Amino acid sequence: MINDKVREILNEQINKELGSAYIYLAMSAYLADIGLYGFAHWTEVQSREEIDHAMILYKYILDRKAKVVLKPIQIDNEEYSGPVEVCEKIYEHERMITSSIDCVAYLTEDECDLATRNFIDWYLNEQIEEESSVLKVLSKFKAFGSEKASLYLLDKELGEREYSHQTYES
């Protein structure tokens, strides 16, 4: 069993992960619209992984015999000036998610819920990877994005990202 405070913050995190999926999907639509189909695919894959992140929390709450409460998802429909700005927004967003996960970890420690604290390690590690991966994409767009030929090749490379179903065990 998890207490009310822990249950509440985990449900909020589900909402943020699903919100992330929505944001990545909006980015994917924008990128497809400007012809960057590879980067559109990359963000769509990320959107699917965010749903997996939400589902890992969802299953954990149910496993601990607590109530899942799904809240409305609200995002701002942002305008982007190009792929560099999309990367910058992704990085900014992922840093916000990292802070949010940090708060979950702190709360579980305060509440002496060490099982949930241990569970949250998966998310702490995932955030390191997510921040690092978008920074690499950002560097590449900054280095090669201004030439049409290299932009084409970079977009092609991003289109090769494969979706792998994210689980707590993976």
Residue 34 phi, psi (nearest 5): -95, 10
Q: To the nearest whole angstrom, how small is the minimum distance from the Cβ of residue 70 to ligand FEO?
A: 16
Structure tokens at 14: 């589900």
Cβ-based nearer residue to ligand FEO, 18 or 151: 18
Residue type at position 13: Q
Q: To the nearest whole angstrom, how small is the minimum distance from the Cβ of residue 127 to ligand FEO?
A: 6
Cβ-based nearer residue to ligand FEO, 87 or 151: 87
State the residues that interact with ligand FEO by CB under 6 A: 17, 20, 50, 53, 94, 97, 130
User: What would the 3-class secondary structure string for 47-84 be?
Assistant: HHHHHHHHHHHHHHHHHCCCCCCCCCCCCCCCCCCCHH
Tell me the C-alpha distance between 168 and 6, whole Å.
Answer: 19
Cβ-based nearer residue to ligand FEO, 53 or 117: 53
Cβ-based nearer residue to ligand FEO, 41 or 53: 53
Q: To the nearest whole angstrom, how small is the minimum distance from the Cβ of residue 134 to ligand FEO?
A: 9
Q: To the nearest whole angstrom, how small is the minimum distance from the Cβ of residue 85 to ligand FEO?
A: 18
Tell me the C-alpha distance between 132 and 104, whole Å.
Answer: 21
Q: Name the residue number minimizing CB distance to ligand FEO.
A: 53
Radius of gyration, CA atoms only, the chain: 17
